[in-house]
């Protein structure tokens, strides 16, 4: 436990060491809250700060993710990155899961697109200097991209298991035995 008075007596280096090891901060003023957030960030932590008052605005602004509630004062809502309209934090979990699903599906779509265009690139690069005509006309390349791209849009709806780093459910995943998936 650290108090505001103890925090004032510490230099930034001491706070950088003490902040990650402290469970409770008491009697902290607004500037000290922001200082704690910056110390945790300097120690390598991603910092989320939840606040609803004027005194929370500096820390909300300094945090990696500032979270406030709809009923908070205007300054806190403006300083926050996320404003919760509901009474619980479950919406954040859902948002993270949806973001992971979108990111994983985007990576899959890019990999499929690069693989499908690889043949076009190789045939154009190798055959074009050797032949007196273009191996593929622009219309043929566009038609090939359209025909191979249409099935790729199905990837957007793939189910992703957020517990396995964004891999599709049922996919073998090497996670070093840190989970209970079938791929370990």
- Average pLDDT value for residue range 36-44: 93
Dump pLDDT digits (tens) for 131-158. 888 778 889 888 888 887 777 777 766 7
Q: Tell me the C-alpha distance between 162 and 169, whole Å.
A: 9
Record: fold of 2-87: Rossmann fold (3.40.50)
Reference 28, options 62, 50, 59, 52; nearest CA is: 59
- The answer to whether 73 and 52 are in contact (CB under 8 A) is yes
The conformational region for residue 166 under phi > 0 = left, psi -120 to 50 = alpha, else beta, is: left
Dump pLDDT digits (tens) for 116-138. 788 778 878 888 888 888 778 88
Q: Is the pTM of this model over 0.75?
A: no
The domains of the chain are located at 2-87, 91-164
Dump pLDDT digits (tens) for 61-90. 999 999 999 999 999 999 999 999 888 888
């Amino acid at each position: 436990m650290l108090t505001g008075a103890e925090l004032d007596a510490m230099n930034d280096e001491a706070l950088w060491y003490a902040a990650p090891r402290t469970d409770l901060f008491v009697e902290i003023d607004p500037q000290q809250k922001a200082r704690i957030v910056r110390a945790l960030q300097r120690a390598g932590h991603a910092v989320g700060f939840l606040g609803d008052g004027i005194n929370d605005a500096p820390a909300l602004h300094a945090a990696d993710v500032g979270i406030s509630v709809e009923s908070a004062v205007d300054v806190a809502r403006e300083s926050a990155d996320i404003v919760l309209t509901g009474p619980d934090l479950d919406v954040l979990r859902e948002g993270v899961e949806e973001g992971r699903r979108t990111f994983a599906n985007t990576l899959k779509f890019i990999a499929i697109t690069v693989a499908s265009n690889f043949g076009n690139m190789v045939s154009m690069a190798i055959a074009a200097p050797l032949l007196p005509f273009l191996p593929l006309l622009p219309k043929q390349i566009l038609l090939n991209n359209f025909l191979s791209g249409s099935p790729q849009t199905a990837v957007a709806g793939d189910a992703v298991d957020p517990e396995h780093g964004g891999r599709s459910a049922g996919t073998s995943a090497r996670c070093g035995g840190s989970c209970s998936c079938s791929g370990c």
